[in-house]
Amino acid sequence: MTKRELKRIAQRAMKEQGIKASQKEITLLEASGDGHYILWSVGDQEYRYDVKYGLEICESLEEINARLERDMAETRKELLRERTRQSMDPEMYYEMLSAFGEGETIVNVITGERYYL
């Protein structure tokens, strides 16, 4: 396929998602010869089109890192909660959970132990 045909496919894929761009604005970065896969950019934003999956807006490296950091922080919290739940008597755990609520950190002032609910 020619560059013009690939840009036309990219333009059509963007139009279906309500994104307007002229062929001059589209910079082809990578493509399969038959047009089943195309990677291009418009300004700083990258887009990917695959016949099977359709159009995807590629995340910037900063967005990916920020999302991964949020996911890792949430996973750490879940692991701490699970460790607390497993280490405590179930009745005591649910009693504390109902009294203080999920997401709270309780510190035993005598022993210094931390409980993550």
pLDDT tens digits for 19-78? 899 999 999 999 998 888 999 999 888 899 988 888 888 877 777 788 889 999 989 888
- What span, in angstroms and rounded, lies between the C-alpha atoms of 43 and 76? 37
- Report pLDDT digits (tens) over 80-115: 888 887 888 888 888 888 888 888 888 888 888 888
Is the same domain home to 39 and 23? yes
CA distance 55 to 18: 11
Question: What gap in Å lies between CA 101 and CA 73, rounded to an integer?
Answer: 19
User: What domain range includes position 45?
Assistant: 3-58
Mark whether 44 and 66 lie in a shared domain. no
If asked whether residues 54 and 68 sit together in one domain, one would say no
Q: How far apart are the first and last CA of the chain?
A: 58
Going from the C-alpha of 40 to that of each of 2, 3, 26, 47, 78, the distances in angstroms are 14, 11, 7, 5, 38
- Of 17, 41, 58, which marks where a domain is finished? 58
Domains identified in the chain, total number: 2
Residue that terminates a domain, selected from 58, 80, 102: 58
Does 104 share its domain with 72? yes
pLDDT of residue 112: 84
Torsion from C-alpha of 44, 59, 7, 33, nearest 10 degrees:
130
Q: Are residues 46 and 9 in the same domain?
A: yes
